[in-house]
Structure 1
Amino acid sequence: MDEYLRGSCLCGGIRYRAALPASHASHCYCTMCQKQHGAAAGSYANLASAGFVVEQGAALVTEYASSTHGRRGFCRVCGSTLFWRSEESPDRIAITLGTMEPEYAGAVEKEWYPENKPAWLPRR
């Protein structure tokens, strides 16, 4: 079994790896994630930031300070959202599940801000 999660942006300009284990995967329904992803939620795997390496295209990674403590990383060419990190927890990084190759095989264990789930999202 691979010791890393791997992925890339839509245009392929950025390739990354993130060392396992993931502490959890989550869907975040906060309005910032919804706007960043253009979707109902941002979906992430939470890992140690020390194990996150941009293997290709580091110059294409752009970060946006979306709050006083949060930074969102994305590709400046294609706009793919790659990660979210908190300056309050610099030892952790949340990598977007949709950019992983192969797809993330773990379970999504947490939902953040479920009260913000859009009405158009299917209910269980």
Structure 2
Amino acid sequence: MSAADLHGSCLCGGVRYRAALPVAHASHCYCTMFQKQHGAAAGSYANVPSSGLVIEQGAELLTEYASSGHGRRSFCRVCGSTLFWRSTESPDRIAITLGTLEPEYTGPVEREWFVEHKPAWLPRA
């Protein structure tokens, strides 16, 4: 395992990946699409260069859903784990779900998107 890479997998372990650093930024997105996709308050992602993403195992298990005209969401077709989000408008970048990283992500989360959609049941700072 390289310290210059992020590593992660899906819940069932069928898909394993690595992504080259640097992380441009990490974020929590409270848009309703991410809430529906994750079944949670937000989708949390590290934005990295798409050229550095390598699927080490289980590429055949990845399924991609076109959730909008430009948004593409990748997940494991066996366990349903959300792994990646990308935009066709920014093909040089890909967002990796923080919850699938091993070891856990320790960098800063600098951005929050669509905070006006933050659920009322989420504790306020």
TM-score, normalization: structure 2?
0.98
The 4+ residue runs of structure 1 with deviation greater than 4 A are none
Q: 2:7 matched to which residue of 1?
A: 6
Count of aligned positions: 124
Q: 2:66 matched to which residue of 1?
A: 65
SS at match of 1:13: coil
SS at match of 1:115: helix
> Where does structure 2 lack aligned partners over 5 or more consecutive residues?
none
Q: Does 1:119 align with 2:104?
A: no
Equivalent residues in 2 for 1:27-42, closer than 5 Å: 27-42=28-43
Q: Does 1:56 align with 2:57?
A: yes
Q: 2:97 matched to which residue of 1?
A: 96
TM-score, normalization: structure 1?
0.99
The superposition leaves residues 36-75 of structure 1 with CA deviations (integer Å, 9 ceiling, x where unpaired) of: 0000000000000000010000000000000000000000
Aligned-pair distance for 1:88?
0.2
| Percent identity (aligned) | 78
Question: Within 1, Cα distance between the matches of 2:113 and 2:31?
Answer: 7
Question: Within 1, Cα distance between the matches of 2:66 and 2:56?
Answer: 23
Q: 2:21 matched to which residue of 1?
A: 20
